[in-house]
């Protein structure tokens, strides 16, 4: 009994540094933010202690905020669908390729993971505008007659967002594909199923869990980011993340910034719970 | 019969062509921003525009001659090193506890340690900035200090180290550990002298991953640094907002080179360990 207790004490001691970091620098700030979101915000002051639902009311009634929440969800859904589709096709091809191709393609897929988001933004920032590479390439090929710019469009924002989330989706799905017996595909083909039927009846059910995890990963990430859409997208593309930053650093309205953050926290939690509930019982994947 | 043959012959060819086209598309997609940045960093002009008419190393000289940019690079490396140390130590100890000890509420604790990884950087940064904004330790403002950024980055890096090390510890042959106990070594000595060398590749990889995460992160750092402690990605973000010059491309290249150097170290280490194993 005492040996057992001593073991538990050692375990707690070992866990202590990690728990201190998580509880003090994540748990405490989250509680602090939750409380802050109910504080008052009179003019010219960061915040005044109090209790009001005013900020949450504003989030639900002010068209700027409801619009931003809607934009964020819409952007996250669309970018995640695109990411999962591209990532799925990419992972499927890499899975089917012979090994020497595989290593090369995995190396390419690692690139966006290793490069800072700011460097990625800047890379696309030089590609899309009037004097950028895209315009120059199309002009020299004679495909367009005048300089064109895709900068500050929703398309540019999507290209950037998908770029950042693609590797996560790819690696999650590739690990799922690697667990599948390849002979299943051959068997299905030998039994006379055309590729599309094999895909629908064999591959899709086997990779369902991976698809779910990849989608929710990508959704959570896209929902929380603001740098890529605000740097590449149009000026009106206001996401919740962008408004948090604006309220905090620009307008110094702490309670409202906190309330917006709580919306993001709840959004992440909702996606995680939803993914868990959609997952088959036996799957042991952690979301 | 011929109909079936035709279909079976036609579809694979079409699928193959589609697959090849897709690979070209995806490789181009991933490499475009990388190559554009690399090319632009050797541009001679002060403006970002294509075509590039003259080449030079001018912007590299400019980068290293500017104290603002070299200070930011230094700050980035210091913060990334700190993050790597903090998250590797805490992550390894936690993973060891999870692997070898009975822990009450194991699933809840697991979720708690992993949770920050799923939180947006803007939320983590904001929370820490609000909570520790006015806190002073021994007369030094916590806010704006590099230590606070290190801990903030550890919220993302530590769960990753934890996950990686948990998987690594599962591969350890624990009969060797028991033997060490039987020979009279205490748990701490066993851990440092027996276990750590066995999992050195995992330790090195997780430390370098933590380093890379911190080096590249800029949203939390944006909330938590001031002019004196700002990191390279933060400075890049702020100057992109005002005006983009080839200097930014140089900064991107330097950031990426640092990351790839880390990757090279992991690979060299891994090959060395493999050789060691095969020699034995």
How many whole angstroms separate alpha carbon B232 and alpha carbon A156?
24
Picking from A4, A18, A119, the nearest residue to B93 by CB comes out as: A18
Decide if B74 is inside a domain: yes
- Looking from the CA of A153 toward its CB, the CA atoms found within 13 Å total 11
Decide if B216 is inside a domain: yes
Decide if A238 is inside a domain: yes
Judge whether residue A96 has pLDDT over 50: yes
For the CA atoms of A153, A155, A158, A164, what is the dihedral angle to 10 degrees?
A: -90
Decide if A6 is inside a domain: no
Decide if A251 is inside a domain: yes
Q: Output the pLDDT for position B4.
A: 46
Decide if B219 is inside a domain: yes
Decide if A42 is inside a domain: no
Decide if B204 is inside a domain: yes
Quick check: A224 and B32 CB within 8 A?
Answer: no
Task: Determine what percent of chain A is predicted with pLDDT higher than 90.
Answer: 47
Chain B residues within 8 A of A133 when measuring between CB atoms = 32, 36, 50
Judge whether residue A169 has pLDDT over 90: yes
pLDDT digits (tens, 9 = 90+) for A255-270: 999 999 999 999 999 9
Q: Output the pLDDT for position A180.
A: 87
Better-predicted residue by pLDDT, A218 or B143: A218
End-to-end CA gap in chain B: 60
Using CA atoms, how far residue A207 sits from A146, A196, B157, B186, in Å, is 46, 15, 28, 46
Backbone angles phi, psi at A53, to 5 degrees: -95, 10
For residue B270, what are the domain limits?
66-279
Task: Determine what percent of chain A is predicted with pLDDT higher than 70.
Answer: 97
Chain A: residue nearest B107 by CA? A286
Picking from B27, B158, B236, the nearest residue to A21 by CB comes out as: B158
Quick check: B130 and A135 CB within 8 A?
Answer: no
Decide if A49 is inside a domain: no
Q: pLDDT (tens digit, 0 to 9) for every residue of chain B, 280 residues total?
A: 444 444 455 567 787 888 889 999 999 999 999 999 999 999 888 888 878 888 889 899 999 999 999 999 999 999 999 999 999 999 999 999 998 888 888 899 999 999 999 999 999 999 999 998 877 777 777 888 899 999 999 999 999 999 999 999 988 888 888 888 888 888 788 888 888 888 888 999 899 999 999 999 989 999 899 888 999 999 999 998 877 788 899 999 999 999 999 888 888 988 888 888 777 6
| Contact (Cβ atoms closer than 8 angstroms) between residue A34 and residue A51 | no
Decide if B24 is inside a domain: no
Specify the number of domains making up chain B. Answer: 1
Decide if A180 is inside a domain: yes
- Looking from the CA of A165 toward its CB, the CA atoms found within 13 Å total 34
Mean pLDDT of A9-31: 93
Give the pLDDT band (50/70/90) at residue A285: very low
ipTM of the complex: 0.88
Decide if B58 is inside a domain: no
Quick check: B126 and A116 CB within 8 A?
Answer: no
- The overall average pLDDT reported for chain A is 88
Quick check: B19 and A93 CB within 8 A?
Answer: yes
A115, A226, A241, A248: best mutation site toward chain B, by most B Cβ within 10 Å?
A115
Decide if B171 is inside a domain: yes
Decide if A18 is inside a domain: no
Residue A161 CA, chain-centre distance (Å), reads 8
Using CA atoms, how far residue B22 sits from A138, A172, B10, B91, in Å, is 20, 19, 18, 39
For residue A106, what are the domain limits?
58-114+151-278
- Residues within 8 A of A (CB atoms), B 204-243 only: 212, 215-219, 222-223, 233, 236-237, 240
| Contact (Cβ atoms closer than 8 angstroms) between residue B214 and residue B202 | no
We report the CATH number of the domain holding residue A247 as 1.10.3720.10
Q: Output the pLDDT for position A1.
A: 56
Decide if A218 is inside a domain: yes
Specify the number of domains making up chain A. Answer: 1
Tell me how close the Cα of B171 comes to any Cα of chain A, in angstroms.
19
CB pairs under 8 A between A and B: 242
We report the CATH number of the domain holding residue B73 as 1.10.3720.10
Decide if B15 is inside a domain: no
Picking from B40, B112, B233, the nearest residue to A118 by CB comes out as: B233
């Amino acid at each position: 009994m005492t040996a057992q207790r001593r073991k538990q004490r050692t375990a707690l001691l070992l866990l202590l540094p990690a728990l201190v970091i998580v509880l003090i620098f994540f748990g405490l700030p989250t509680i602090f933010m939750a409380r802050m979101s109910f504080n008052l915000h009179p003019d010219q002051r960061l915040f005044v202690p109090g209790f009001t639902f005013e900020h949450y009311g504003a989030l639900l009634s002010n068209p700027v905020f409801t619009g931003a929440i809607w934009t964020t969800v819409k952007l996250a859904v669309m970018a995640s669908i695109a990411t999962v589709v591209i990532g799925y096709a990419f992972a499927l091809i890499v899975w089917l390729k012979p090994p020497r191709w595989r290593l090369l393609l995995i190396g390419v897929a690692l690139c966006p993971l290793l490069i800072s988001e700011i460097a990625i933004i800047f890379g696309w920032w030089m590609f899309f505008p009037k004097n950028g590479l895209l315009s120059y390439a199309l002009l020299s090929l004679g495909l367009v007659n005048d300089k064109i710019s895709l900068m500050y469009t929703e398309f540019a924002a999507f290209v950037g967002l998908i770029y950042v989330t693609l590797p996560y989706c790819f690696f999650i799905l590739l690990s799922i594909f690697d667990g599948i017996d390849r002979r299943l595909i051959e068997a299905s083909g030998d039994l006379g199923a055309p590729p599309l039927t094999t895909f629908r009846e064999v591959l899709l059910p086997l990779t369902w869990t991976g698809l779910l995890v990849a989608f929710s990963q990508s959704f959570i990430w896209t929902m929380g980011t603001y740098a890529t859409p605000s740097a590449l997208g149009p000026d009106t593309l206001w996401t919740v993340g962008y408004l948090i930053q604006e309220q905090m650093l620009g307008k110094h309205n702490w309670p409202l910034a906190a309330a917006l953050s709580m919306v993001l926290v709840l959004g992440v939690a909702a996606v995680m719970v939803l993914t868990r509930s959609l997952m088959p019982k036996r799957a042991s994947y952690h979301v | 019969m011929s109909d079936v043959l035709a279909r079976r012959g036609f579809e694979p060819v079409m699928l193959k062509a589609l697959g090849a086209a897709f690979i070209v598309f995806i490789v181009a997609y991933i490499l475009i921003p990388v190559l554009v940045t690399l090319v632009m960093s050797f541009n001679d002009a002060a403006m970002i525009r294509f075509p590039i008419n003259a080449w030079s190393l001018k912007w590299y000289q400019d980068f290293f001659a500017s104290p603002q940019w070299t200070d930011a690079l230094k700050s980035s490396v210091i913060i990334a090193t700190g993050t790597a140390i903090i998250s590797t130590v805490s992550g390894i100890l936690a993973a060891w506890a999870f692997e070898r000890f009975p822990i009450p509420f194991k699933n809840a604790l697991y979720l708690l340690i992993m949770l920050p990884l799923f939180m947006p950087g803007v939320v983590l940064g904001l929370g820490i900035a609000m909570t520790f904004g006015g806190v002073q330790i021994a007369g030094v403002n916590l806010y704006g200090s590099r230590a606070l950024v290190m801990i903030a980055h550890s919220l993302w890096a530590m769960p990753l180290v934890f996950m990686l090390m948990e998987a690594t510890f599962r591969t350890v042959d624990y009969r060797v550990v028991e033997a060490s106990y039987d020979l009279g070594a205490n748990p701490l000595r066993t851990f440092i002298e027996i276990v750590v060398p066995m999992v050195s590749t995992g330790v090195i990889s997780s430390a370098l991953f933590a380093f890379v995460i911190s080096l590249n992160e800029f949203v939390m750092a944006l909330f938590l640094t001031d002019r004196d402690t700002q990191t390279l990605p933060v400075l890049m973000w702020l100057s992109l907002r005002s005006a983009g010059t080839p200097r930014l491309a140089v900064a991107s290249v330097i950031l990426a080179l640092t990351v790839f150097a880390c990757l090279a170290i992991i690979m060299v280490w891994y090959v060395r360990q493999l050789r060691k194993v095969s020699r034995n």
